[in-house]
Structure 1
Amino acid sequence: MVEGEGEAVVACSDKSMKIGASMWDLETGEKLLHIPTCASPPFGFLCLRNRFLVASQLNRHGSVGDGAIAVWSFHKPQQPLLNYTVEAIGTLCCTNDGIYLVGGALSGNVYIWDVTSGKLLKTWRAHNKSLNCMLFSFDNSLLISSTDDGMIFVWSMISLLDVEETRSSPPPLHYLSGHISFITGLLTTPNSNYSILISSSLDGTCKVWDFISGKHMQTQAYPLAITSIALHQTESLLFCGTEQGSIFVDKLDVGRGEGPFVVIKGQPLELNGHSGAITALTSSRSSLISASEDCSICVWDIFSWEVTRRFSLQKARRTSDNDG
């Protein structure tokens, strides 16, 4: 999402699809930008400082020492800045102020760069498995990382950056275990009085944690594997995308003075508008935006739950193609 003069939705395909990345005006539906050479793995694509698109580039799936991080300016999208990395980087995340960029490697290594100078500040072996999700806490003081085996680690940024030897690291503050399959999403709740982390997994659950104490607070089970999650802070909603393309909507108690953050028990609302697994979810002021393996992006009104706009990442048909 890009804020400021307005809101926009940005989507990127992986390298196998050869579709690239596109940006649309959320209100008018106008395509603002298309970068045909952009491609990234899941969680390897982000908007930096509302001025740049950043994507990890895996030249060969699973390759080591054959990757790069590409940066496109909104104003010069056809001239990316390529930063070649020691090994292939999968997942990316950045601090909310855009000062630090972090990349997680397929090997389990994590890299921290200073965005302004481009200097590599830290690298260490964070996990024994491939990293798939990373997230900063709302105040940027903690880095949260997860892996293919369902483990979640919480790291102190102060401790990481204060270590003199760049390849050594203090142990994580917490090991959060409980998922029994691939982690598919991590979220924090900036408007809550509690230090809350929500994680989702292909095991069909979302778990709620206090990431300061490391305490597990709640598990919400669903009948399908969860492939993506998002929050709408204003309306206190949790969105859970599934492997079959449906989206569950749960109401939240965000603990604004009484008790902990919990998912309110009850039958969740189920949205259906995609024919493939949900690959990404996010929210705007009054909308839910969902992306799917069917190459479609739906914009849902959060009050009527109707699809108000639909975008397509598919390549345009040739003029010789027809429906008949």
Structure 2
Amino acid sequence: MPTTSPFALLLDVDGPIASPVTRDVAPEIIGLLLDLAVSGIPVVFNTGRSDDFIKQQVMAPMIAAGMPSTLKIHAICEKGATWFTFDSTGAGEVQVDHDLAVPGHYSDEIRELVASSFASHMFFDETKRAMVSVEQNIDADNTEYRRVQADFDAAALEAMIRLGLGVERLEVSLPDANSGIEYRVDPTIISTDIESVALGKDLGARRALNLLSADGIVPGAWFTVGDSRTDYAMADWLAAHGHEVSHVDVRPGDGIPAGKPYPVLTAGDLGLGDEVIHDHAGLAFLRHWRAQLDPGMVINSTELSEASV
């Protein structure tokens, strides 16, 4: 018989969980994720990061913190191209949708491009199995990185066109000879992902639902959490398929899309200021949800604010 949970969490990792500055996950966030999962709240990660990143930055700390042997966590990575499940013994087999992978010869060209022209600001992510990603060096200035990123993205687009591949970046569409668009260049505040247009947080949401269904778990509602406009696709997909969902935006400064058919929450809904963003906001919401499960645990907005800075 299916098990019903009051709600489930579908979490982007960069921003809400991992610091975009250090890429680390705070110990308190790890502890709260475990508390919620042990209390029967499904916790599923839906990220553009690789399975290796999740294993190192999320799985290993959760196991070290005392993950119960009966608990398992699902992780959808590379925006739905790969996924795996882990428990207290480690990671299970990583599933890869090879049909959604960027061609190997294009990946090789981008690796060489980064090494020859952009290595002072970014590095090629060797852990990706389907996407091609480059990321800001931790010691690079973000303002300078964003300027150089525009040059890299232009070169990545040019390489796609030269190889006869259709590609898009934001509002720019450059179709192939058959008027097709197969790939997307997707810039974030600390990286650029080059990926199949079939990938996205909506695909990740579909995979998350399938994984929980296979476990016999039916969430009564969902909270999706992200830090970019593309993360809204999680809530869009769930709402379109009849699920009750609220989306938490931990970086609303980019603008909250109008007309969404579900609630959009920010740190302001917890009584916090606009300066509380990224993993600070993620921490506040995790503490809020943890407190809801324990009526004796009272956390006021002042305590949340102090915990978030």
Higher normalized contact order (CA 8 Å, seq sep 6+, divided by chain length) = 2
Q: Same fold (TM over 0.5)?
A: no
